[in-house]
């Protein structure tokens, strides 16, 4: 998996906040099957149905229990068996195997 462009909040998940002008290999996660891109945050769904997030967390859109930006992917421990993901500007959503829809982040 490769990412490039604006990385000011760590949304590329490469361990820093330096912008990338050429494709940069993202080695923090393996077996990613889906990616969600929001306003300066990212979601990574793995084949094993676990979900990770990184980037801007001003409104809690990373789902990790705090509001600190993250420049490496963090597992969202409160979710498992995730099938689908979506991101907005400052919110995130996940649909699980049992049909439950979870939403977090900015609700305005």
Q: How many domains does the chain have?
A: 1
Judge whether 54 lies within some domain: yes
Quote the percentage of the chain above a pLDDT of 90: 92
What is the arithmetic mean of pLDDT over 80-94? 98
Task: Report the C-alpha gap between 108 and 58 in whole angstroms.
Answer: 13
Looking at residue 32, its pLDDT comes to 96
**For residue range 23-69, what is the model confidence (pLDDT) as tens digits?**
998 888 899 999 999 999 999 999 999 999 999 999 999 999 999 99
**pTM exceeds cut of 0.85:** yes
Judge whether 3 lies within some domain: no
Structural domain range at position 75: 30-105
Judge whether 90 lies within some domain: yes
Judge whether 16 lies within some domain: no
Judge whether 87 lies within some domain: yes
> Which string of b and e fits 51-69 if b means at least 16 CB within 10 Å?
bbbbbbbbbbbbbbeeeeb
Name the pairing type of β-strands 20-25 and 91-96: unpaired
**For residue range 91-107, what is the model confidence (pLDDT) as tens digits?**
999 999 999 999 999 98
Task: Report the C-alpha gap between 86 and 91 in whole angstroms.
Answer: 9
Judge whether 12 lies within some domain: no
Task: Report the C-alpha gap between 48 and 69 in whole angstroms.
Answer: 25
In this model, does residue 21 exceed pLDDT 90? yes
């Amino acid at each position: 998996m490769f990412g490039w462009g604006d990385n000011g909040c760590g949304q590329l998940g490469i361990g820093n906040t330096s912008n990338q002008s050429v494709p940069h290999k993202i080695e923090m996660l393996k077996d990613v099957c889906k990616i969600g891109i929001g306003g300066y945050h990212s979601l990574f769904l793995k084949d094993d149905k676990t979900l990770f997030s990184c980037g801007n967390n001003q409104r809690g859109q990373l789902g990790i229990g705090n509001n600190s930006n993250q420049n490496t992917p963090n597992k969202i421990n409160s979710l498992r068996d995730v099938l689908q993901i979506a991101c907005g500007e400052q919110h995130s959503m996940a649909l699980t195997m049992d049909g439950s829809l979870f939403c977090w982040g900015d609700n305005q």
